[in-house]
Amino acid sequence: MDARREAKIERVELRATSRQTTIIKQAAEATGKTVTSFVLDAAFVEAQRALADRRTFRLDAERWARFVEALDRRVKPKPRLRRLIERPGAGDSA
């Protein structure tokens, strides 16, 4: 379902200073939105931007080539890592 048509059942509460509230109210009015709509839209955009910074990265041509080369490099056997992975963990049943 489209996020715009999805039922809004979650609450988000926050505290703000008098100055912050005044500015937010003025901005909401200037954009023809309710305070709730303005704050939610702004927070959502900022949240997407924050998450994109952790999912997307940019490299120049040289660094991109080195990155691709590292991804394509043949895997070296790591016997100690293999033993560690194969060893039962604390939550595994014996």
pLDDT at 71 over 60: yes
Any domain includes 49: yes
Q: With bands split at pLDDT 50, 70 and 90, how would you rate the model's confidence at 20? A: very high
Structural domains in the chain (count): 1
pLDDT at 10 over 70: yes
Of 35-39, 71-75, 88-92, give the lowest mean pLDDT range.
88-92
Any domain includes 45: yes
pLDDT at 70 over 70: yes
Q: Contact 35/24 with Cβ under 8 angstroms?
A: yes
Any domain includes 33: yes
Range of the domain at 52: 18-86
Calculate the CA 57 to chain-centre distance.
Answer: 13
